[in-house]
């Protein structure tokens, strides 16, 4: 390229760019780098989040917003992972960060000084069959065999620990295969009932399950099976999968996070489709007007919680919040009056 610089300097500059840039646009794919943000450390329990100033005249401006109270002198940290990544197991988060940002995460959720076990990687207790056993992987020198049940206090042991990890590996392989196949055809045509039941037996959702239900792989499967049940005419099971999805989001990571908002929105959208209240949908057979109104109230409750989360995280001019707020307000008017409001046009821009 005849840059007039040494290969070493060019390599250092490229690495500095790759390790400090942020996603900017999808089409065309673009990235941006900001001076102040480049000095912010990562944490899997970040106290701040960044976003662009959407809805203002300064749309390319980098906005930094607190996710929780920040004490004087506390370092401000953001997540280098997407919101969904914060709900993955510690081992998976560490692999992603090492491959994309070239460092081993030792934050308060991933490092040897972690205060508790990995709440994203839970197994059904092999002793009582009711309690949860969480992988102590982040904590220094501990393995699953040393973990104990939170209900009966029994220790897992070497043999059961190996069995649980084997079931986890089987589930992960099948999920990876499903992800690859879903890019080519609809999941309703990919899975058969026997395959679904096999995966359910691996999970803590069934009496004989070993993995989960408080496990990040189960959370991935809830989403896949919600779509499968919906496509195969089992709407009640589809909603149950999304409720398990929401429950996992609440328990796995208790700090403010956008993934919970989007999980709540997905559940609300499904309820509205089944009630015939979403555009282009038809009411399921057997639902009377009273049932539809009850479903609408449930969906509204989910949307209200979701919009509250997104407003705190991104502000009231960001497209994430605006789209959800518009949907929530329309549904609120329907619940109050029994009629959908007429369109009021586009929302005006807001200057910072």
Alpha helices in 55-192 (DSSP H): 90-101, 158-182, 187-190
**Neighbour-count burial of 143, counting CB atoms closer than 10 A to its CB (0-12 exposed, 13-18 middle, 19+ buried):** middle
The dihedral through the CA atoms of 40, 42, 48, 53 has a sign that is positive
Instruction: Tell how strand 211-215 and strand 21-25 pair up.
Output: unpaired
- 183 contacts 189 by C-beta, under 8 angstroms: no
Of 159, 156, 171, 151, nearest to 89 by C-alpha is 171
In angstroms, rounded to a whole number, what is the distance separating the alpha carbons of residues 43 and 37?
14
pLDDT per residue as tens digits for the range 154-212: 999 999 999 999 999 999 998 888 887 776 667 777 788 888 888 888 776 655 678 98
Mean per-residue pLDDT of the chain: 88
The pTM (predicted TM-score) of the whole model is 0.88
Q: Where do we find the tokens 């392989």?
A: 173
Residue 188, token pair as written in the block: 């309703």
In angstroms, rounded to a whole number, what is the distance separating the alpha carbons of residues 135 and 40?
29
Residue 352 has pLDDT above 70, yes or no: no
* CATH tag, 9-114: 2.170.270.10
pLDDT per residue as tens digits for the range 277-298: 998 899 999 999 999 999 999 9
Query: Which are the contacts of 188, defined by CB distance < 8 A and separation ≥ 6?
Result: 227, 228, 231, 232
pLDDT per residue as tens digits for the range 93-127: 999 999 988 899 999 999 888 888 999 999 999 99
């Amino acid at each position: 390229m005849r840059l007039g610089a040494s290969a070493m300097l060019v390599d250092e500059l490229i690495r500095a760019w790759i390790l400090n840039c942020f996603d900017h646009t999808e089409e065309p794919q673009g990235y941006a780098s900001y001076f102040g943000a480049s000095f912010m450390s990562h944490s899997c329990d970040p106290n701040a989040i960044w976003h662009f100033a959407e809805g203002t005249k300064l749309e390319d401006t980098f906005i930094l917003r607190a996710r929780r109270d920040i004490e004087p002198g506390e370092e401000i940290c953001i997540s280098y992972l997407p919101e969904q990544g914060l709900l993955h197991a510690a081992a998976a988060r560490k692999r992603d960060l090492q491959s994309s940002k070239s460092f081993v995460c030792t934050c308060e959720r991933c490092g040897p000084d972690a205060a508790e076990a990995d709440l994203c990687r839970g197994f059904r207790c092999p002793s009582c069959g009711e309690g949860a056993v969480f992988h102590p992987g982040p904590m220094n020198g501990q393995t699953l065999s040393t973990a104990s049940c939170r209900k009966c206090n029994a220790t897992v042991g070497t043999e059961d620990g190996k069995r649980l990890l084997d079931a986890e590996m089987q589930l992960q392989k099948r999920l990876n295969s499903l992800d690859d196949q879903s890019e080519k055809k609809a999941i309703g045509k990919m899975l058969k009932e026997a395959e679904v039941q096999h995966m359910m037996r691996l999970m803590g959702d069934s009496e004989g399950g070993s993995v989960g239900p408080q496990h990040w792989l189960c959370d991935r499967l809830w989403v896949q099976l919600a779509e499968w049940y919906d496509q195969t005419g089992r709407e009640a099971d589809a909603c149950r999968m999304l409720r398990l999805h929401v429950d996992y989001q609440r328990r796995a990571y208790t700090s403010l996070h956008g993934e919970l908002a989007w999980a709540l929105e997905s559940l609300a959208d499904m309820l509205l489709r089944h009630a015939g209240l979403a555009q282009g949908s038809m009411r399921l057979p057997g639902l009377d007007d009273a049932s539809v109104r009850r479903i609408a109230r449930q969906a509204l409750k989910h949307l209200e919680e979701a919009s509250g989360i997104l407003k705190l995280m991104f502000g009231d001019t960001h497209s994430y919040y605006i789209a959800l707020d518009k949907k929530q307000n329309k549904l609120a008017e329907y619940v109050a009056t029994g009629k959908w409001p007429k369109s009021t046009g586009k929302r005006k821009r807001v200057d910072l």
